[in-house]
Structure 1
Amino acid sequence: MSTPSSPSRSYRSTLRAEQAAATRRRILAAAGASFASAGYAGTSLADIAREASVSVETVKLNGPKRELLLASFEQAFAGDEGHEGIAEREVGRRIMEVGDPDELLAAWVRFVAEANARAGRLWRSLVSAGTSDPLVREALDAQQVRRHADFRAAIDLFVERGMHRGDAPSDAERDRLADVLSFLASPEGYEQLVDGAGWSQPEFEAWLAGAVRTLVLG
C-alpha cells in the first residue's frame, strides 16, 4: 500500500528539479560561449565545465558535446531549449500580442536582432560542426526546416494583420516571401553588417525594418 508523498518530500523534489534546471541553463550558456569563441572542434567538455564552474561529470550528465552544441544554440537564440517554433514560445506570444502594425514589425525586428547578437557566432560553429559530424548535420537540417516554418508563420501573421500591401499572396508566394525574410534576417547578414561593417544595433534594426517593408510587405 503506497502512502502519499509528504509536503516536505514534494518540496525537496521540486527544489532539486529547479536546481538541476538552473545548472543545465548555466552549462548551456557556458557551452555556447565556449563554442562561439573556440569553435566546435576547439571546445572540450573540460572547457565547458571550467566556464560553468561545475565538474566534467556534471557536464557529461547533461549530454554529449554535439547535444550541448545544439541545445546551447536553441537557448541562446530563443531564450530556452526545445524544438518548438518561435510562435509557440513565450517570446513569440509576446510579439503576437502587439496590436499596432508598426510596433509589431519593430518587435519582430528587435527579436531577430537580439537573437542574432546572442547566437550569431554560435550559429557559425553549428554550421561548421555539421560539415564533419553527420548527426549534427541531420539536426541542422531539421533546424533549417523549423527556421523556414518560423519565417512562414511570420509572413502569415503580417498578412493576417493587413501589413502586406496588394492582393493576398498565395501559398507559393508566401513561401517565397518567407525565403526572402529568412535571407534578410540571417545570422550571416547580421554578422557582416554589425560585426564586419561596424553597424550599431539600432542601425541594423532600422535597416531590417525598411528592407522588410520594401522587399516583403511591399
Structure 2
Amino acid sequence: MTVSKAGRQYRSSLRQEQARRTRATILDAAARLFVERGYGATTMKDIAAAAAVSVESVYAQGGKPTLLLACVDRAIVGDDEEQPLLDREPLQTLLAAEDPEQWLRSLRDLTATGAQDSVAIFDAFHGAAAMDPKLAEQWQIYSDRRYADCVRMIASLGPHLRPGLSVQTATDVFWALVSPGVMLGLCRERGWTSEQYADWLADSVRRLLLS
C-alpha cells in the first residue's frame, strides 16, 4: 500500500509537533532545576528524570551549557527561536512609539510580563558563568548584545531626551537600570513583584532621561 503525499506530510507534522513538545518539556525541567539546585549541581540525568524522558532525549537537545542558554532565551523572549529580541512584536511596538509616554507604556508592559520569569534563570546563568569558561564567554556575548539592544531602544527616543544628555550617556544609564543585578536585587532580595519593578523602571526612565 502506498502512502499518499498528504499522509506523509501529516506524519511529518505530527513528528515535528511531538519533537517540539518534548523539547519544551525538557527545557521547562532544566530551567526549574537550574534555578532550584544551581547549574553545577544539576546533571543531565536529573533533567531527564524531571522531564520523564530518556537521557538520550536530553542530550539530543545539546549539552548542559546549550540547555542553559536556551532556557535564558526562553525567559527573555518566551521561546528559543533564532529571531532577535528587537525584531519581535513587543520591541517593534516600543521602537515605533510616536511619543515618549507610549514608549514608556510599552517598556512597562514588556517588563511586567518578562521580569519574573527571567530573574531566577539570570541568577543561575550568572552563577554558571563563574564556574564554566565557555558560559563566561556566552555571558559576555549576552552582555554585549544587551548593550547594543539598549542603544537602539534609547536612540528611538531621539529628541525626547533631556537637553544636553547624549544618547551614549542615556544608554549607559538605561543599561544600568535594566541590568540583571538590579533586577535580581529588587525582585529576589527585596521581594519586589514584576509589576513593581516595571513601574519603577518606567518612572526612573521618565525622571532620569526624558525632558
User: Which TM-score applies when normalising by structure 1?
Assistant: 0.84
Aligned to 2:60: 61
One-letter amino acid matched to 1:133: D
Aligned to 1:35: 34
Aligned to 1:130: 129
For residues 173-212 of structure 1, the C-alpha deviation after alignment (integer angstroms, 9 at most, x for no partner) is: 3233222112111222122223322334333222211111
- Specify every segment of 5 or more residues in structure 2 that has no aligned partner in the other structure, as ranges: none
1-structure distance, mates of 2:82, 2:205:
26
Instruction: Give structure 1 regions of 4+ aligned residues with deviation exceeding 6 angstroms.
Output: none
Aligned to 2:202: 209
The change in CA–CA distance for 1:131 and 1:67 in structure 2 (over 3 A counts) is: same
Q: Between the two proteins, what is the percent identity of the paired residues?
A: 33
Matches within 5 A, 1:38-53: 38-53=37-52
Q: Which has the higher contact order (CA 8 A, sep 6+)?
A: 2
For residues 45-100 of structure 1, the C-alpha deviation after alignment (integer angstroms, 9 at most, x for no partner) is: 12222222222211111111010011111011211225543211233234445555
Matches within 5 A, 1:180-199: 180-199=173-192
* Contact 2:34–2:121, Cα closer than 8 Å, also in 1: yes
2-structure distance, mates of 1:116, 1:123:
10
Matches within 5 A, 1:32-181: 32-82=31-81, 84-96=83-95, 99=98, 101-159=100-158, 162-166=159-163, 173-181=166-174
Aligned length: 208
Aligned to 2:16: 17
One-letter amino acid matched to 1:182: W
The change in CA–CA distance for 1:178 and 1:113 in structure 2 (over 3 A counts) is: farther
SS at match of 1:80: coil
1-structure distance, mates of 2:102, 2:52:
41
The change in CA–CA distance for 1:141 and 1:21 in structure 2 (over 3 A counts) is: same
Displacement of 1:213 in angstroms is 1.0
User: Which TM-score applies when normalising by structure 2?
Assistant: 0.87
One-letter amino acid matched to 1:86: L
One-letter amino acid matched to 1:174: V
